Structure 1
C-alpha cells in the first residue's frame, strides 16, 4: 500500500489521549429549548436520558409528558399530548394526530384545513376562501361592503356605521384571528434550526442543539455557553470547566494549571505518563478511552469508554456504543449509535444526525428526515413543500468512515477537501483538493491535487465548503462521494492502520 499526500501532512497519532473532567456544573441560561411537552434531557443523542423514572435514547425514542414513544427520535419529533409524532408528515390538532394532507395544512380546532383554499375564523370555524373576505370573530364578511367592529365582541357592520370608520385602521386581512391555535414553523427552507427549534441568529445562538441569548462576548463550548469575561472558566475540547485556577491552559484535552498538576488537578503524572480521567497511564502499554485506561492487549481502538479489537468481526462500534453481534443473524449496520438489523426500518442520515424510522410506502430520506413524497420534495438534503413525483433522489446515504472500513481497504480512495462549490443549472460543481490518498492500485495514482467534480445537485447529498470527505474514483475515473465529513487525524490514522494490517 502506498500513501500519497499533496500537503505536508504527517499522521503521528499512535493513540488518542483526550482527557476531560466531568462537569461540576454548567451554565443553564437556555431559553426556549423545550419542545412542546418534551421533558427528557436533550444534551446529546449518544447517551441515556430520563423520561420520568425510565431511561431512554433520544436517537431512537421520544419523551412526551413523562411517556416514551418508541421508534421515533426526539431529534425530529414533536409532542401531541403524551405521544410523539413526525411534524413533517403529521399534524396535531387538539390532541389528535392527523395525517398531513398538504404542507399548507394547519389546525382549526380539532380539524385540519388548507390555508390555500380555506380560512379559520375564531377557534374552530372553517370557511372557503373568497376574495375580499376576512374573519370577524366566528364569521366571515365582505370587506367591500362591511367592516368588523368590536363592541366588545366582534360584530359585522355596514361600512356606513360609525364604528367602521374607527375600525378601518385595525381591520387587517389575516387567516388567523386571536384565539386560533398557534402553529410551529416546520424546519424547512431558510429557517435556521437549532435542534428542532427555529431561531433568530441576531438574538439567539445555537450551541449543539441548545439555544442561548446571543451577545458579542458569548461563545459556545459544546452544548453549553459561556462569556469571555467569566472568571475561572475554561473551555477544553468542547467541555466547559468551572472553578479552574487562573492562567490554566487546555492542552490536548487536559487542563494544565500554574502548579503543573494535571488530570483534573488531582494527580501528578510520573515521567512518561499521561492523563486519563482522574488517573495517569503509560501510552506505550495502555490506551485511554474517554477517561478509562485499558491494556493495549485488549484492542487498539476506542468505542466510547470501551476498547475493542477491530479484527473481531462480532464487535461493531456505533458512535461510541459497542455492540456484540454474536447472537445476531444477518447483516447489521450502524445508524448513529443504534444498530440497524431490521429490513422494516430505515436509517436516514446527514452530517449532523442519523435517525432510524419505521419504513412506510412513498416515504424517502432527505438527510436525517423521513418525508412523504406526496407532501415534500428533496434537493441536496433540503426539504421543499413542492412535491415532484419524477424527481431524482439519492439511492444511498453517506456513512461515517468507520462503517466503511475495512471495505475501503480493497479500493483506491482519497480524502478530498471541498474548497469551493458553484451551481450551474441542475449541476453542482465542486473543486476538491486531495489532501491524502490511500492507493491500492498503483495505476490509479492521483497526480493532480486539484480535482473538479460535477454532481447532480438535488440527488446528491450536500457538500460543505472547508470539510473533507472520503472519495473513490470509479471505473470511468469520476470521483464518487462515499462518507460523511471526516476527521483528518483520527479517521486517516484508523484507515491507514487497519488497511496496512490487512495488507500485511
Structure 2
C-alpha cells in the first residue's frame, strides 16, 4: 500500500506543476519531482572555478587550480591537508608560505617556514634541533639541558658547559662555584676570584653594581648587602624579613613595617588587619575601612570572605594567595600566568594548561589552535574540529570566504555555508512538495523512502546505504571505508585503518586520545601517549600522561609504555561483529575499570541485551591503558577499551555495529 502511494504522488505532483506552468509561464519545470526541485535548489556551498561549479566541502581552489578533497585547505598557492601537514608563514615585508608534510597542525609549531613537534624538538635561531632533555633551552643554534648544563659567554660566542653542580654559574665562557667564588671584571675580562678577594667586595664599574654571591647576598638598588637568611628580601634599598615585616607602598616609596600579625597586609604605606578591616580605593587613595563598611561588604561579596591587598595578592575561590606578578590571575583555586598559560573549563572544573602559542584558545578543558581549528558544540560537548569542517563558522582556505553574517531575504544559510537566494524560488512550491511527503535535505527537497540525505546532499538509496560526510556508500562493502567525514576506497590487502579523516599507511603512526586522533610520520623508537608522539629518552608515559624522564634506566624497554585510545572503527569484522559491550565509565583504579549501564551487543546476530551492573574490566598494566573520563561511554571487550570517534551517541554506535555486521 505504501509503495502504491509513493508511485502515485509524483504523478499527481506532475499534473499540479503542469497546471501551474500553464498559468504562470514557468518554462523550466520537468516532469520528475527531483528534476523540478533541481530548478529551485540552493546549490548550497557551491562556488565557481573557471566557470565550473564545485562544492567547497569537497575541494579547494588555489592559484587557478582545483584540488579535490573534503579536508583540504590553502597555504599560499598550495593546497594541503591540515590533518596531516602544516602550513608555516613568515612575513618580512612580504608573505612567504611553505608546507611541511607528515606533521599535523594539531600538534605542530613553526620555526620560520619549517614545522616541528615542540614535544620533542625546539626552535633555536630559526633552526629545528632535537631536545636533549624535557627542560631544554636554546644556546645559540644549539639546545642544552638546563638541569645539567650551562650556556655561557656573550651572545655572539655561546658555549655549552657541563654543569658541575647547582651552585655553579657562568662567568664569561667558564663557570664558577657561587658558594666559594665570585665573578669579577678585571682588565675588561670576566674572571673568577675567591669570595674573600678584594674584587668581590668592590663595586664593578662596568656593571654599575657590586658583584655578589646571590646565595649569601642581596643586590638592592645598586647596593650589595648581606643576606641574613633565605627569607630576607629587598625593599627599596634595604633588606626586610618577610616573616616578621611588610614592605609596603609604591615602587618609588617603599616602607618597611613591623608586621603586627600574619593576618596583617599592606594598604598603601600602611598595614591593616585583614580579619577586621579591608583596603579600599577611596578618591584615588588606598585607605583601611572596618570590615562591616559598605566598600568591604561589596568587595567581600565579589571576592569571597577575606579582604586582601590586590597589589600583592589574589583572591581565588575564597582563598587569598600570593600574586607573583601583575599578569598572574586566578584559575579555580590556583594562580596562573596569563602570558604563558590558559585557564580552561567550566567554573566547577578549571584546568591550567601550558599555552602552546598566542593563537591557542580554550575549548572546554582543552586548547586549540585558532588558526587551524575551531571549537564546536557537538552532542552537548565542546570539541575541536578542523577549520575546514562544516561546524566551523569560519571557512578557511577557500577561494571565496563565506560571510558570517547574511541577509535572509537575499541569501540562505545551509550547513554552515551561505549561498545567494535564487529569484525563482517560491515559498509555495517548497510547501507543495513538503506537504506530499518530502523533506528538506539542506535547502533541497528529497524523498526519504527512495533517497538519502548526507549533510545537505541527496543520493539514491540502495541496500545498506549510509552516509559518510556528503557522500553515500554501502556500509557492508569491504572495499569502502568511512573515516570521519571522508570516504576512502581500499586497495587489495589494505587493512583500512582510520586516523581521523585520513587513511593510515604503513609509513604513518596514528596516536589517539579522548580529544584527538593525530597522524605522524613513523620514527624508530617513538611511542604514542594519547595523541602525542613522544621520544622515550625524554618522556615516560602512563595512562595517557607524559612525565619528564629523570634518570635513564639500563633496561629502556621496561620504562617505555604506549597508551592510546583504540577506535572501534578500526576493528576488523571478526572482532567488531562478535560479542562487544558498551557502557558508561564509573571509575578507574590501578588494577581495574568499572562500567555501569552496560549493554552486550552481538552485531552479527543483531541482538542487544542488558547486563548486570557494574561490569569490571581488569587492567594488569594500568599505564598502558589510555586516559578515560568518568561519565563517558566506551565500548570494551575482555581486554581492551574502545572509543567510537565517528559517532556521538550510544544509539548511533549500536546502529553502526548492527548495520555493518548483521546478516539476516
Out of 82, 102, 119, the residue aligned to residue 58 of structure 1 is 82
Q: What is the CA distance between 1:372 and its match in structure 2? A: 1.6
Structure of higher CA gyration radius: 2
Q: Deviations over 1:324-383 (max 9, x none)?
A: 225x544332222222232x3322222332222232222111122221211111111121
**Does structure 1 residue 355 correspond to structure 2 residue 518?**
yes
* TM-score (normalizing by structure 1): 0.66
8 Å CA contact 1:380–1:459 kept in 2: the answer is yes
Tell me, which stretches of 5 or more residues in structure 1 are unaligned?
Answer: 1-18, 25-44, 172-182, 213-218, 225-235, 256-261
Tell me what 1:421 maps to. Answer: 587
Relative distance call for 1:87 and 1:127 in structure 2 (3 A) is: same
The 2-side partners of 1:102 and 1:403 are apart by 35
Tell me what 2:449 maps to. Answer: 284
Correspondence list, 1:78-477, <5 A? 78-121=109-152, 123=155, 124-129=158-163, 130-134=165-169, 146=182, 158-161=200-203, 163-164=209-210, 166-167=221-222, 168=224, 169=234, 192=353, 209-210=369-370, 242=405, 268=431, 270-271=434-435, 272-297=437-462, 300-326=465-491, 328-342=492-506, 344-386=507-549, 389=556, 390-391=558-559, 393-394=561-562, 398-399=566-567, 401-404=568-571, 406-408=573-575, 410-418=577-585, 420-423=586-589, 426-435=590-599, 437-438=601-602, 447-455=611-619, 456-472=621-637, 474=638
Tell me what 1:35 maps to. Answer: none
Q: Give SS of 2:648's match.
A: coil
8 Å CA contact 1:75–1:196 kept in 2: the answer is no
Q: Quick one: higher RCO (CA 8 Å, sep 6+), 1 or 2?
A: 1
Q: Deviations over 1:153-187 (max 9, x none)?
A: x999634438335335599xxxxxxxxxxx999xx
Q: What is the CA distance between 1:87 and its match in structure 2? A: 2.3
Relative distance call for 1:266 and 1:134 in structure 2 (3 A) is: farther
Tell me what 1:36 maps to. Answer: none
RMSD: 4.9
Q: Deviations over 1:289-331 (max 9, x none)?
A: 11111111286211111111123222221121111225x5443
The 1-side partners of 2:522 and 2:426 are apart by 47
Relative distance call for 1:163 and 1:337 in structure 2 (3 A) is: same
The 1-side partners of 2:168 and 2:560 are apart by 41
The 2-side partners of 1:427 and 1:263 are apart by 65
Q: What is the CA distance between 1:109 and its match in structure 2? A: 1.0
Q: What is the CA distance between 1:243 and its match in structure 2? A: 5.1
Q: What is the CA distance between 1:100 and its match in structure 2? A: 2.2
The 2-side partners of 1:277 and 1:87 are apart by 41
Higher helix share: 2
Q: Deviations over 1:63-84 (max 9, x none)?
A: 2231111122222222222222
The 2-side partners of 1:128 and 1:392 are apart by 27
The 2-side partners of 1:307 and 1:443 are apart by 26
The 2-side partners of 1:264 and 1:146 are apart by 87
Which stretch has the larger CA shift, 161-170 or 68-77? 161-170
Relative distance call for 1:341 and 1:403 in structure 2 (3 A) is: same
How many corresponding residue pairs? 409
Which stretch has the larger CA shift, 154-163 or 432-441? 154-163
The 2-side partners of 1:109 and 1:494 are apart by 55
Q: Give SS of 1:116's match.
A: coil
Q: Give SS of 2:658's match.
A: helix
**Does structure 1 residue 71 correspond to structure 2 residue 102?**
yes
8 Å CA contact 2:600–2:608 kept in 1: the answer is no
* TM-score (normalizing by structure 2): 0.51
Q: Deviations over 1:194-253 (max 9, x none)?
A: 787797979x986754399xxxxxx998769xxxxxxxxxxx9775974588xxxx9x99
Q: Give SS of 1:297's match.
A: coil
Q: Give SS of 2:583's match.
A: strand
The 1-side partners of 2:416 and 2:129 are apart by 48
Q: Deviations over 1:20-50 (max 9, x none)?
A: x8699xxxxxxxxxxxxxxxxxxxx972111
Tell me what 1:491 maps to. Answer: 653
8 Å CA contact 1:432–1:452 kept in 2: the answer is no
8 Å CA contact 2:513–2:564 kept in 1: the answer is no
Relative distance call for 1:200 and 1:321 in structure 2 (3 A) is: closer
Q: What is the CA distance between 1:458 and its match in structure 2? A: 0.8
Q: Give SS of 2:655's match.
A: helix
Relative distance call for 1:408 and 1:429 in structure 2 (3 A) is: closer
Tell me, which stretches of 5 or more residues in structure 2 are unaligned?
Answer: 1-41, 48-68, 90-96, 193-198, 211-219, 225-233, 238-338, 342-350, 374-379, 395-403, 419-424
Relative distance call for 1:244 and 1:137 in structure 2 (3 A) is: farther
The 2-side partners of 1:275 and 1:23 are apart by 18
8 Å CA contact 1:263–1:279 kept in 2: the answer is no
8 Å CA contact 1:46–1:319 kept in 2: the answer is no
The 2-side partners of 1:137 and 1:317 are apart by 61
